[in-house]
Amino acid sequence: MSLKRIFSVIGVIVLAVGIDSSSSAQSKPKQPSLSFGTAEISLGMTLEEVNRVLATSGLHLQFLPNDKEDALVTGPSGDEGQVTFSAGRTIYAAYRMPNVNTADELTQEIAGAVDSMQTKTCYVQNYSSHGTGGGMNQTIFECGFRRFTIMNGYVLGGGGRMINVSIEIGRQETK
């Protein structure tokens, strides 16, 4: 087989794969999703789908008392985040990364959050609150359908800091 013929066959295969993937992408846009370990939760998933996907990663939903819409995602290491449903479908999900204690750990968490963004263009908002008992600083990055938040809080005289990074998709409904 000639080199020209081989390149023609490869070109047809690449074109066919490109047409197939673009036509499926046009027919059904991919919903924003969020990973809890190896479990990927997408907006619009049913309660049954979320339970099934989480179970494959050793995680499960624990609904809040008297609340059939807001559930904690729990596993062996405890609370990992939250999923909120409306009309039986996922409308919000948040993954809370473990609390960090050093600037190095914080840098790693932020790098992981940015890597999981589909767009690298973000809008940033800063909030700060200080009072007689302590204070809190929060930076929120809005990146397409995702948000990630860095929160730094401290109690005066306590000597300890709480630094938390979370990634969210969707919107929580206010009740």
For 55-76, the pLDDT digits (tens) are 999 999 999 888 989 999 998 8
The confidence band for 121, taking pLDDT boundaries of 50, 70 and 90, is confident
Tens digit of pLDDT for each residue in 75-99?
A: 888 888 999 999 999 999 998 877 7
| Strands across the sheet containing 60-63 | 60-63, 70-75, 78-86, 89-96, 161-170, 146-155, 134-143, 123-131
Q: Say how far apart CA 35 and CA 111 lie, in whole Å.
A: 15
CA of residue 80 relative to chain centroid, distance: 11
Every domain of the chain and the residues it spans: 1-30, 31-96, 97-175
More confident residue, 93 or 7: 93
Task: Report the pLDDT value the prediction gives residue 21, as an integer from 0 to 100.
Answer: 38
pLDDT at 141 over 60: yes
The DSSP bridge pattern shows strands 123-131 and 89-96 to be unpaired
Task: Report the pLDDT value the prediction gives residue 111, as an integer from 0 to 100.
Answer: 72
For residue 115, what are the contacts with CB-CB under 8 A and spacing of at least 6? none
**Would you state the structure tokens that stand for residue 154, as one six-digit string?**
């401290």
Q: What's the mean pLDDT in 95-113?
A: 74
First-to-final CA distance of the chain = 68
pTM beyond 0.85, yes or no: no
